[in-house]
Homo-oligomer: A and B are copies of this chain.
Amino acid sequence: MTIVELMKKRRSIRRYKISPISKHLINKIIEAASYAPSGLNRQPWFFVAISNSNLKERIRQECEEHERRFYEQVKGNFRESLSFFNLSPVKSFLTEAPYLIVVFAKKGDPYWNESMWICIGYTILKIQEERLASLTYTPPQMSFLNEMLDISKKYKPVAILPVGYPDEKVDLSKRKRKLVDQLVKFIE
């Protein structure tokens, strides 16, 4: 499969089969992530890969609590968008997916946030190449993850990537992308 086919077929997945995946696969995914470019090659990333059920349950509870508070204050257009995407404070993928990869970025390194998100782009493409599915989930509040996972405060949690086999049918006609000629202006 070409890289563009991978990109084109990938969708964010919110339902996962409970079928386990191997630690070896997670290592292959992290290896791909490690090749991302970064400001002054500082490689400002660290990953915690969690398959422990109790811990996934605790992460889910904490995230859902923050999500409920977040949803209470959301209004207008943005609330409509959330329901259009079937988003809700219930985050069952946090316990269904066999692995959660919690992504931490080292604050203060040059372009640490920009580098981190290029790296997340690499990660989700590698997950797709392995015929697994993922989602770049960003809880409204994430700092609890440092203490829960025993990670230094120098590292900021930026996303949780559930990883597993998809348990929903991907409808490629949904979430359409803009066409190239809407996206680029040439100056020759």
**Chain A contact residues, CB within 8 Å of chain B:** 2-4, 6-8, 10-12, 23, 26-28, 30-37, 40-41, 43, 45-52, 55, 78, 81-82, 85, 110-111, 113-122, 124-126, 129, 136, 138, 149, 158, 175, 177-180, 183-188
Q: Which residue in B36, B110, B186 is a CB contact (below 8 Å) of A23? A: B186
Ordered by A's residue number, 7 sampled pairs between the chains whose C-beta atoms are within 8 Å are A26-B186, A45-B183, A49-B187, A114-B138, A118-B136, A119-B121, A121-B121
Q: What would 19 more interface pairs be, CB under 8 Å, given A7-B35, A48-B186?
A: A2-B129, A3-B32, A3-B126, A4-B31, A4-B32, A4-B129, A30-B180, A31-B180, A33-B183, A34-B177, A37-B124, A37-B136, A47-B183, A48-B185, A51-B186, A78-B110, A113-B113, A113-B114, A114-B136
Whether B3 contacts A3 by the Cβ 8 Å rule is: yes
A4-B35 contact given A55-B187, A119-B121, A183-B46, CB 8 Å threshold? yes
Give the distance in Å from the alpha carbon of A41 to the alpha carbon of B176 in the complex: 8
Whether A149 contacts B187 by the Cβ 8 Å rule is: yes
Closest B residue, CB atoms, query A78: B110
Whether A26 contacts B184 by the Cβ 8 Å rule is: yes
**Lowest 6 A-B CB distances belong to which pairs?**
A121-B121, A117-B117, A7-B35, A118-B121, A47-B184, A34-B177
